Amino acid sequence: MIVVLALPGYLWAMVRVPQNARRQLASDMAWGIVVGLVNWILTMSWGDSSQYSPIQVAISGALMVAWVVWCTWRWASILMRGVPATWGAIAGYAGGWSGMAMPSDVTGLWAVGLVFLILGMTAGLSLVVLIVAVLKLLVARARQ
């Protein structure tokens, strides 16, 4: 499932990224997958999966935002490194969620939940990347 979720980002990279930068991009995406999956396991896999505690959701969201902020701020190339790491984190998190939701859902609605999870995380984390990128640009201009 994680492979299917990460496939669009990987295919984009194979078409748009120069040959010499592909290894780094794949590494960043793989680290994102690991971070997203570990985040989900540590914060959301325990307890009743039908009703998550607000503290679980808050900690999980804070960890994901922290990962994206760190990647976007630290790496020079946001598009080539920060975005793939974010895509990987979304894929890892969604893969962990679907791995637990699929076997326990007899109605098949886990797939709808997965779509909403991916759309929500993509929108939210893309906004985080945009905000951090603008702040990074403003700080760079102020230093000049």
Give the pLDDT mean for 67-82: 82
The rounded mean pLDDT for the chain is 84
Residue-wise pLDDT for 106-131, tens only, equals 898 989 999 999 999 999 998 998 89
Write down the domain spans for the chain.
2-143
Whether pLDDT at 92 is above 70: yes
What is the pTM (predicted TM-score) of this model? 0.81
Average pLDDT over residues 59-64: 95
142, pLDDT greater than 70: yes
pLDDT at 52 over 90: no
CA distance 95 to 39: 11
